Structure formats: C-alpha cells, structure tokens
Amino acid sequence: MEKVECWKPIILTLKTTKEYKNPFLDCTITAEFTGPNNQKIIREAYWDGENIYRVSFAPTGIGIWKYRIHCEGESDINQKTGEIECIPYTGEYAIYQHGFLKISDDHRYFIYADGTPFFWLGDTHWEFAYRENWDKSNHSDMKSMFKGMVDRRVEQGYTIYQTNLRSDALMGGDSLYWKEPNIPNVEFYQNELDCRMHYIAENGLVNALGFAWFMSIENQIEKYQNLARYFIARYGALPMVWTIAGETAGYDKSKQTFYIDSWREVALVVQKLDSYQHPRTVHYTNERPFASYYQDEDWFDFTLNQAGHGDFVVSVDDYKAFLKEHNNKPFVEGEAFYEFCSTLEENGTRMCTDDMVRRVAYLTMQAGGCGYTYGAQGIWDNVWEKGEENKMIIFNQYDIPWYEAIDGIGGYQMGYMRKFYEDQKFWELYPYQTNNESIGNPFGKKMPLISVTKDKKHWVFYYPESTRKSGNINGLNNAIYEMQWFNPRTGIYDENINEIQIENKTWKIPMKPDRKDWCLVLKEK
C-alpha cells in the first residue's frame, strides 16, 4: 500500500486501451476517494500523452483512503480499486501542517483547514509560467532564476506566489498550452509547468493563479473553461487559490459587462470541478470607486483589489468606503505600488520606494484587510537584463532587472509586516471608528491609522510618513496600558515599554519618534 503525508499530493498512473481522436475531451476518467469519517473527494484524471492518464490526489485526513476509478468503455481501469495510507506530515511548512486554505466563519480573513489564521503575503509573478528561467540565472547568488526567487521569498516569510498563465496570443502564450484546438500540449506542462507548480508547493507557498488577462476571453469562453478543467485536474491537489483572470473587466466601458459575464462562466466551472474548494476570486480592474462586480455571488470567496501604480491617488478613504459597503468577504490588496516602479502617484513620475510600498500595505491592514501582495518592477514583467526591450517600459523607466529587484528592501519589509500583524493577532483587530467622522477622526489626513480589538484592550496605530498631527481617541478602558513602538523599516520593537494610566476613557495620541513611519502598540496590562 502506498503511503503519503497528509495534504501532500500523490499521483496515480492509468493506461487506456483505446486511442482517442481527442484524448482530453473524448475520454473522461474520475477517481472517487473515500477516507476517514467517510470523507469523499472526486478527482478527474488528466491526460499526459499517448494513452497515459494520471490522477493527482492530496488526502485531507490521517488514515486509509480507498479509491475507485470510473471510466466507461475502458474495461481495464473502470471500477479499478485501491488503497492509500495517509500518514502525518513531518515537515516545516504551515500549509501542510494545518491544511489547505478556506475562509473564516466571520468572513474576514483566511484560515487553514484546521482553523489556524493565515496571513496573505504575496509576491507578484505574472510571467512565472514560461519566462522565469528554471535552469539559468544572472544573479550572483542564485543558480536558478525561478528557484532563487521562490527561495528568497520563503526566507522572507511570504505565503503566496501570485501568478498568471498569460495563456493568450497577445501575451505570447497561446501556442504553449494547446497543441491544437482543445488538445493540451502535454510537453509544455511536463517540461515547464510541472517543475514550477510543484516547486512553489514543495516550498510551502500557495499559488494564487489566474488563467489569463481580461481580453483573452473574447470568443474563447469554452477554451478557458477547458483550460480551467485541465489545470484543476493536473494541479488542483496542490495548495491553490484561483484568481481566474487578471483585470477581469478591462478598461473599455463598452466591453466590461461582456468580460464580467464571460469570466463568470469560467469561475463557475472552477467552483463545480474543484473538490478541494480552494478559495476563488478575480484580480479586479484598477478603478475608483474600487471594483465590486462579483461581491455578492456565491462562487466569489474574497476580494483581490487593485489600487494601481499611481493612476489614482491611493487613499484610506477608498478602502474605508469599500469595506463599509462590502464587509462580508475577506479583503486583500492584490496590486498596488510595485517597488522600483515608475509611477505617477501624487507628485509626478518618480521611482516607487519602499516607503510608498509600506504606506499602502499598512493602510490596507489598518482599514480592515487581511493581507497584501507586494510586487517589484523587473520581476512581474520579467526583465532579464538592463537595456533590453520592454513592452511595459512605462512602468520600468528606471531600467530595473529582476536580479536587482529581488533584493529590494521593501521585499524584506513585507516579511516584517506579516510578523508584526501575526504578533498582534490581526484577525482580532477592527478599524477604529469615531462617533463623529468629521471631527477628531484618526483616519483623517495626517493622522495615524488605528485598529482595535472589540474589548478595547489592544490597539494598533500606524503612523505613515505623512503623519503630522496628534489628537484624542475615545473608548479606551480605564486601566493601565503598556505602550511600545515598532519600526516597520527594520522589523524591530523598541526595548522600552511604557505604562499609561487611562482615565475618562480618553487618551491623547503621542507623536511618533521621528519623521519616518512607525507603528505603536497599546495593550491593557
């Protein structure tokens, strides 16, 4: 009997006796797995060339899993049975220690299967599928571009690898995924994608994957439904989040309804076929007010927002307004300022710095978000070397290649942010609201942003670099609190912990130590 660790995939190999004109569409093989406590998981086999089909399966509970194969017309494999023993995972990665992702009962954040809170910290790799080199590198410390970047983000504390297949003609990927219409190019999957998808998973990261960009769906709905089906079969037993499509609605107002409706059809296929029910969303279009096309639909599990790279000013008011109206699903800022990006934000074209990245990241969390996706110019657009032609030069006017971008200080600081919010139990924090939104509002301009637990015993303040004002906050408990500063640039807490006696449930917010950004933690003693 084969053994496999819990939540880790095992692959079964099957051989058909017939030849099919279209081995993907003309032959359907499913495996029904029954585990402890009568758990049932159905997995479709994927065609892997010639007469070979494989079933990828990750057991979700310790014990014996029995399976039965179903394939009408294939007497050698139809009703074939077997058993797999699931044993405890012994490794170091949380995604296998605690299980695949789902949404918390209060719909505010992600949890692992066992209920442990999960912090979304992503890195943007839009061209991971075929342009991130597996077998070469020009970074002095990395032998592989792809593996080196994954390793670096794991070391820094990232949990999400945010990707897009770019599986369309415009992006140059159409011919890679299909050998001919509706027949997968299995050699591409075997030689390029398998190693990348499994390396991400084997290193404990969750792949937040989109199938293409918005415009690709024109006259292609069935094609992308088929691509989704094949991907779910081949990779759906890995730790995944389905982001369906990039910038889903596009920017042509006359076509937005068409794009929204079309990609919904793909999302519904994902919902139907994915037995693990990995979380589903879309990568929203950059607009103001923030996009909300699918917020109340059953298949749509969380918001993956796009604040953009400077097309609009990134303001806390936008987050407040959105989350006030749409507070029934977790919120992640999925694409904002990329470090090293040439941006038009606020003060005209300039390079986006780590200071700008931190501002939006902490703003997201303080406003009620549950995670953030970082990005670095030169990585998302896969710039191999300085001076090379780049279709996205508008964002890379400072000519930053990947091997410089991967070492950006902001990339490290996002890991500090994750650790900070996990220390503060981010899942217990809510945005602080005043009784009067116009007077003494800490969310106002130049004021720190505040989040607090329901019992008012634990307060977290973020002071952006622009913070210049102090003010009173109300609603504290009349008790002794301990106050400690945290430096988001270094990830270090101040050694000094000061005691504060609160009277009349009111406290004057202190000024920050210097002009840079800071966090302040206030906890009842």
What is the three-class DSSP state of 285? coil
Does residue 434 carry a pLDDT above 60?
A: no
Q: 365-396, pLDDT tens digit by residue? A: 999 999 999 999 999 999 999 998 887 888 88
For residues 451 and 473, is the Cβ–Cβ distance under 8 A? Answer: no
Q: H or E segment at 365?
A: helix 354-366
Residues in the chain: 525
Q: Looking at residues 261-280, what average pLDDT do you find?
A: 98
pLDDT for 442 beyond 60? no
pLDDT digits 0-9 by tens, 116-164: 999 999 999 999 999 999 999 999 999 999 999 999 999 999 999 999 9
> What is the predicted pLDDT for the residue at 347?
54
Q: Look-up: residue for tokens 């030169």?
A: 378
Separate counts of helices (H) and strands (E) for the chain:
11, 31
Give the per-residue pLDDT at 348.
60
Tokens of 314: 């990134």
Average pLDDT value over all residues in the chain: 94
Task: Please tell me whether residue 198 adopts helix, strand or coil conformation.
Answer: helix
Q: Is 60 exceeded by the pLDDT of residue 440? A: no
- The runs of H, that is alpha helices, within 94-193 are 94-98, 145-156, 174-177, 186-188
Residue 468: its pLDDT value, please?
79
Contacts 24+ apart (CB under 8 A), 151-154: 151/203, 152/406, 152/407, 152/411, 153/123, 153/205, 153/411, 154/203, 154/204, 154/205
**332 CB contacts (<8 Å, ≥6 apart)?**
120, 122, 302, 303, 304, 305, 364, 369, 370, 371, 372, 373
- Whether the model clears a pTM of 0.85, i.e. scores above it, the answer is yes
Q: What is the pLDDT of residues 456-513, one digit of tens each?
A: 999 999 999 988 778 889 999 999 999 999 999 999 999 999 999 999 999 999 999 9
Residue 466: per-residue pLDDT: 86
- Spatial distance between the Cα atoms of 75 and 113, rounded to a whole number of angstroms: 37
Encode pLDDT of 172-184 as tens digits: 777 899 998 899 9
- Residue 122 region, left (φ>0) first, then alpha (ψ -120 to 50), else beta? beta
Q: Cα(102)–Cα(116) distance, rounded to whole angstroms?
A: 10
Which pLDDT belongs to residue 153?
98
Residue 443 pLDDT > 70, yes or no? no
- Could you tell me the pLDDT band of residue 219, with boundaries at 50, 70 and 90? confident
> 304-332: per-residue pLDDT in tens?
999 999 888 888 889 999 999 999 999 99
Percent of the residues in the chain that have a pLDDT greater than 90, as a whole number: 86
Residue 436 has pLDDT above 50, yes or no: no
Higher local confidence (pLDDT), 208 or 167? 208
Number of neighbouring beta carbons within 10 Å of residue 503 = 9
Of 22-31, 176-185, 440-449, 510-519, the least confident: 440-449
Average pLDDT, integer, range 224-230:
97
Q: How far apart are CA 405 and CA 377, in angstroms?
A: 6
- Judge contact between 22 and 103, C-beta under 8 A: no
Asked if 240 and 200 count as a contact pair (C-beta separation under 8 A), the reply is no
| CB-CB contact of 419 with 157 (8 Å) | yes
445 has pLDDT over 90: no
**Is the pLDDT reported for residue 190 higher than 50?**
yes
| Per-residue confidence band for 400, with pLDDT thresholds at 50, 70 and 90 | very high
Is the CB of residue 333 less than 8 Å from the CB of residue 359? no
Within 10 Å of residue 307's Cβ, how many Cβ atoms?
25
User: What is the DSSP secondary structure assignment for residue 339, as one 8-state letter?
Assistant: B
Which residues lie closer than 8 Å to 394 by C-beta, 6 or more apart? 342
* Cα gap 400→341, rounded to integer Å: 9
Give the pLDDT band of residue 438 (cuts 50, 70, 90): very low
Q: How far apart (Å, rounded) are the C-alpha atoms in residues 265 and 128?
A: 25
Tell me the C-alpha distance between 255 and 307, whole Å. 21
The token duo for 199 is 């390396």
Omega before 289 within 30 of 0, i.e. cis:
yes
Taken in order of first residue, the domains within the chain and their CATH numbers are 2-87 (2.60.40.10), 94-427 (3.20.20.80), 430-524 (2.60.40)
